[in-house]
Amino acid sequence: MLVAEFAEEGAEDGAGAEVHVNEPWEDYSRMRVPEVKDRLTGATTAELAAVQLYETTHRKRASVLQAVEGRMRAQPS
C-alpha cells in the first residue's frame, strides 16, 4: 500500500551532477572562428583543454575543435 510519494522540485529531471563550463577567456563567446584560431597559436595545454571542453559543451564548432586537436598534437610531450 502506497501512503505518499514525495520528491523535491526538479527531481523529475533525474539525479546527477550538473557541470557549468565557463568561457576559456573573457569575451570568448563573441569571438569568431578566425579570432579563436589566432588565440590558439600561443595557448597552453590547459587553455587548449578549456577551449575543447567549452566548444564540446556549448558552441560545437567543428573547425575550432579541429584546430584545438591539431595544436594539442603539436604540443611537446
pLDDT per residue as tens digits for the range 14-49: 667 778 889 999 999 999 999 999 999 999 999 999
| Residue 16 resides in a domain | no
When pLDDT is cut at 50, 70 and 90, the band that residue 2 belongs to is low
25 burial via Cβ count (<10 Å: 0-12, 13-18, 19+): middle
For residue 8, is pLDDT > 90? no
Average pLDDT over every residue of 48-72: 96
Number of domains into which the chain is organized: 1
Helix (H, G, I), strand (E, B) or coil at 20: coil
d(C-alpha 41, C-alpha 77), whole Å:
17
Residue 61, domain member (yes or no): yes
pTM over 0.85: no
Domain limits at 68?
32-77
pLDDT band for 11, please (50, 70, 90 cuts): low
10 part of a folded domain: no
DSSP state of 58: T
